[in-house]
Amino acid sequence: MNNKILVVDDSESSIEILVELLGSDYDVLVALDGETAIEIANEDKPKIILLDIVMPEINGFEVCQRLKGSVCTKDIPIIFITAKSDEESIEMAYDLGGIDYVTKPFKSKELLARVKTQIELKNLITSLEYLSSHDTMTGILNRRKFFELAALNFNKKIEKQYSVMIDIDRFKNINDLFGHHMGDTVIKKIVNAIDSHVKEDTLFARLGGEEFVLFGQYDSKDSIYDEIEFIRKKIEDLEIYEDKGAKISVTISCGISFYNDKFTSIDELLKDADEALYEAKGQGRNKSIIRNS
């Protein structure tokens, strides 16, 4: 777990005090100027930043503004810790995105409590964001988050996009014959098999029940077909056994669609892939069908 705190202050004595105070509980990173702080924040993604205001070259306000203006660092909580106690500075700190404001000289226990509170809030928000965007059983994207991300990517009008609709063949029979707990096991093993093979930047989601989707970019159409066929055969070869030792045979059907100018939305691309999936089902299942080329 990320346990890093970035302390930014041009005073070495202040740095030493904070490192001594926080070092037993956190991995403390330090920066003596604003530019270094921004570099460290982008590279190490600390859990929280303690930021002084009065510094040479660029002050804490500008550092905060630049961090909050970057996609990579905008969500890192910033606590201003400074000798400035005037209302204008405090107001400016919060307006720029600071989450708390501590004046020097600070009380050690109070600062530790504030840091702990903000880290707990950050962890809670991260956890809630994960739960709201991922399927609870499999850990892959859920339907809502998939459509959000896929629509964003689709709207960039990148030509080499593809989508694959995947359905577990005769999944109801598995549930009926072996129980829903074995059905859940089958789903998890299939997801693991797919997830271990697709590219890291490919969107992979569970749309519901036994239906899944892939969305990404391809180097060549043949390579995508070969990849999906590899996955299909890999799943066909899975060794899954029910409680009494009998092997459960599992296959998937896949429908593949590639982007072209006729598609005006992600929904149309997915519909085309779904029609290819329907063809695969109609041709006996355990097949990969390309709808268009």
Helices (H) and strands (E) in the chain, counts: 10, 12
For the entire predicted model, the pTM comes to 0.80
- For the segment(s) 4-133, the CATH number from 3.40.50.460, 3.30.70.100, 3.40.50.2300, 3.20.20.70 is 3.40.50.2300
The better pLDDT of the pair 78, 158 is held by 78
pLDDT score recorded for residue 80? 97
The string of pLDDT tens digits covering residues 231-264 is 999 999 999 999 889 899 999 999 999 998 889 9
Q: Is it the case that residue 65 has pLDDT exceeding 90?
A: yes
Question: How big is the CA angle at 150 (ends 162 and 276), to the nearest 5 degrees?
Answer: 40
Kindly report, residue by residue over 116-143, the tens digit of the pLDDT: 999 999 999 989 999 999 999 999 999 9
CA angle (265 as vertex; 259, 266 as ends), nearest 5: 70
- Say which amino acid occupies 3: N
Contacts of 148 (CB under 8 A, 6+ apart): none
- Annotated catalytic residue: which of 210, 236, 239, 279? 210
**pLDDT tier, 70 (very low <50, low <70, confident <90, very high otherwise):** very high
What's the DSSP call for residue 220? -
What mean pLDDT is reported for the chain? 94
Read off the tokens for 169.
Answer: 């063949």
Tell whether the model's pLDDT for residue 79 goes beyond 60: yes
User: How far is Cα 227 from Cα 230, in angstroms, rounded to an integer?
Assistant: 5
CA distance 183 to 172: 9
Which listed CATH number (3.90.1150.10, 3.40.1160.10, 3.30.1360.30, 3.30.70.270) goes with 143-290? 3.30.70.270
Residue 293 has pLDDT above 70, yes or no: no
pLDDT at 89 over 80: yes
* Bridge pairing between strands 27-31 and 247-248: unpaired
**What would the mean pLDDT of 41-58 be, rounded to a whole number?**
95
Please state the rounded mean pLDDT for residues 275-291. 95
Q: Where are the domains of the chain?
A: 4-133, 143-290
Quick one: average pLDDT of 205-231?
A: 95
> What's the pLDDT at 1?
60
For residue 262, what pLDDT is reported?
87
Place of tokens 């000289």: 105
**pLDDT of residue 157 exceeding 80:** no
Respond yes or no: is residue 210 known to be catalytic.
Answer: yes
| Spatial CA neighbour of 251 closest among 221, 292, 280 | 280
Residue 292: per-residue pLDDT: 65
| pLDDT at residue number 168 | 97
How far is it, in rounded angstroms, from Cα 71 to Cα 82? 26
